[in-house]
Amino acid sequence: MFPVKINKNTVLILGIIFVAFNLRPGITAVGPLISSIRYDIGISNGLAGLLTTLPLLAFALLSPFAPRIAQRFGNEMSILGGLVVLGAGIIIRSTISLFLGTALVGMGIAVCNVLLPGIVKERFGKVGLLTGVYTFSMGLWAGLAPGLSVPLAEKWEIGWSWSLGVWIILVVMAVLIWLPQLKATKENTDRQIVSSNSSLWQSGIAWQVTLFMGLQSLVYFSFITWLPEILNDRGFNIETAGWMVTLLQFSGLPANFIIPVLADRLPNQKAIAVGIGVFCTAGITGLLLNINSFIIIVGIILIGIALGAAISHSLTLIGLRAANAKQAAELSGMAQSAGYLLAALGPFLIGYIYDFFHNWTLPLILLVLATIVFTLAGVGAGRNQYVLEKVFIDRKKSPSTIV
């Protein structure tokens, strides 16, 4: 028999998919377990919100440095390092220190979050289809994790700590599948990339991408953390509430895939931002009205569609608004640094407000306001131009100098 030869791009795509599998379960698995964690270690809702806020702070603090790490060690080696840190964080969170492990989980995910858009831009050029593939993959396990959390902890009787710890299995699989990419590290880091000297931090459209990324993430992580508690307050039992988070995630899976492909083909992406905003506002309104379970479930589905579209669109905008792979990594670092610093306020602030008022109405209204602002930012970010117009001009003059 002759050995089967597998195309190196196929191996890379498979590696990207498995890395994407690990970008959310370490965070989304926490929400349905918050009641058990609070009861077991005796913390407030505000402090419990830090279990989602800490990874977001890690995203914010580490994201600007991820492109520099990649320049030093290569994208491929840096992503492997991110997976190793993520795996260490999962184990430490379940065995030694809840909050230290949670911070390490965030640090590991941050590196992979920032560098994947750059790899897609560099190795494949057209960002829409592959961005859709990996955001779909990310959303799949982001959705399964909260639904499985309570059954793993209670029916399998492994407790909340190892219910959070089982996700080390996905990390190990991703590491093994990613290892062949290390051969590409030297080749890719030796390439010369031309880029403008202008700072992205002075670009209005870069800030609009950042605001869209940050505020849609604030809404997303607030729901991932507190939706089980909101639904429990509205009469759902906590296990069912956990599966409602899974419903929210799975409702967004078609949008995860479709939106990047659509965005890549449109002359501009303004209408996509408006559609996301309308769906999200309508869904949150359904939760606010609290008429019956049917309306609440429809609201959750609408929120899921909107936020599934929003994360895919955020990552697609990074590729579309960047002229080359280096600029995509830099824009990704900016959007995920300032953006996730903003997003980190969400889970903590929502928990704190609920502790003060003992009512979910004001937190939900604040999430509607955040939705309106990220919609406006998305309309601005949807303009058909690069973040630094000089790069666009240079690219047209000498495309051979840009990766």
Domain boundaries, the chain: 8-401
pLDDT at residue 198, as a whole number: 52
The answer to whether the beta carbons of residues 76 and 181 sit under 8 Å apart is yes
Digit-by-digit pLDDT tens for the chain (403 residues) are 444 456 778 889 999 999 999 999 999 899 889 888 888 888 887 788 788 888 889 988 888 888 889 889 988 999 999 999 999 999 999 999 999 999 999 999 999 988 887 788 777 766 678 888 888 899 899 889 988 998 999 888 889 999 999 999 999 999 999 999 887 655 554 443 434 445 788 889 999 999 999 999 999 999 988 998 899 999 898 888 888 988 998 999 999 889 998 998 898 999 999 999 999 999 999 999 988 999 999 999 999 999 999 999 998 998 889 887 778 878 888 888 888 888 888 888 998 899 888 899 999 999 999 999 999 999 999 998 888 765 444 444 443 333 2
Q: Give the pLDDT confidence score for residue 286 in this predicted structure.
A: 95
DSSP class of residue 155 equals I
Which amino acid does the sequence have at 96?
Answer: I
CA distances in angstroms from 55 to 90, 171, 288, listed in the order given: 12, 17, 28
Q: Which amino acid is at 205?
A: I
Burial class (CB in 10 A: 0-12, 13-18, 19+), 267: exposed
Q: Check residue 126 and give its pLDDT.
A: 67
Q: What amino acid is encoded at 400 in this protein?
A: S
What is the C-alpha separation between 168 and 166, in angstroms, rounded? 5
**Cα separation, 44 vs 46, whole angstroms:** 5
- Tokens 């065995």 correspond to 95
The Cα–Cα gap between 296 and 288 comes to 9
Residue in the structure block whose two tokens are 């902890």:
153
Helices (H), 151-269: 159-165, 168-178, 185-189, 204-233, 238-251, 253-265
3-state secondary structure 37-84: HHHHHCCCHHHHCHHHHHHHHHHHHHHHHHHHHHHHHCHHHHHHHHHH
Question: How many Å apart are CA 129 and CA 237, to the nearest integer?
Answer: 39
User: Which residues touch 102 (CB under 8 Å, ≥6 apart)?
Assistant: 50, 51, 54, 55, 89, 93
Q: Is 314 left (phi over 0), alpha (psi -120 to 50) or beta?
A: alpha
Three-state SS string over 92-114 comes to: HHHHCCHHHHHHHHHHHHHHHHH
Q: For residue 159, with 0-12 CB atoms within 10 Å meaning exposed, 13-18 middle and 19 or more buried, which class applies?
A: middle
CATH class in words for 8-401: mainly alpha
| Nearest alpha-carbon partner for 68 in 402, 385, 395, 337 | 337
Q: What is the value of pTM for the model shown?
A: 0.80
Running DSSP on this structure, what letter comes out for residue 386? Answer: -
Q: Would you put residue 128 in left (φ > 0), alpha (ψ -120 to 50) or beta?
A: alpha
Count of positions (residues) in the chain: 403
Which CA distances in Å does 61 have to 82, 91, 117? Answer: 14, 22, 18
Judge residue 400's burial from the number of C-beta atoms within 10 Å of its C-beta, 0-12 exposed, 13-18 middle, 19 or more buried.
Answer: exposed
Separation CA 7–CA 126 (nearest Å): 18
